[in-house]
Structure 1
């Protein structure tokens, strides 16, 4: 995945259309950003239940968890969507996310429900500014 063609959430998930520039298709890959990967540290476990396949998960809801040496973190849906597929290879080899979080490190494939949500996510330029000046919680 070319990171220039992705959209980014404030929770550090990325989403990329499965067929680039074809919004009508509405199928997209979802994963975590390099920033999130660096913040978490070495990833050692990924938990995404098979039971979510075929389910609709709304924007901001949790679709799984990721565990690193430092911490455990929830994975949030960047947009509302129906879960089509889980990257099963990551479940047995989560360290693949450490090596390549944008290509082989995708976590799920979804069908986007509301393309407006996708369009409201940050571009790469906007995301880079966001991570340089994160909001104070």
Structure 2
């Protein structure tokens, strides 16, 4: 699913929360952008990389992800320590998100999507992580 379609789904879930399951299924088949403190070295991430994390309005920390590299741009500009952006499978993002973290798609934008730590665990538990 392309980023435009994903953003439309996010907007529709904002207006109709019953569509969350469909959005999560679409995310599972999508690529997302994740700001990181380190870039690839010889084609791999260093073991000590850190993704950008934020505090959600609901009171828990989230891994920050974006539908496009461009959407990550304002965060990268304001958080220069996270100037590397990795475009990867959403399933990989799930695989690196550990309690007590949730996951946010397009945080700070009018239409964003937040998964609680328990949502992340439930979806990750029903998925084989991408490599």
Interval of TM-score (by shorter of Structure 1 and Structure 2): under 0.3
Q: Structure with the greater relative contact order (CA < 8 A, sep ≥ 6): 1 or 2?
A: 1
TM-score scaled by length of structure 2: 0.28
Q: Which has the higher strand share?
A: 1
TM-score scaled by length of structure 1: 0.27
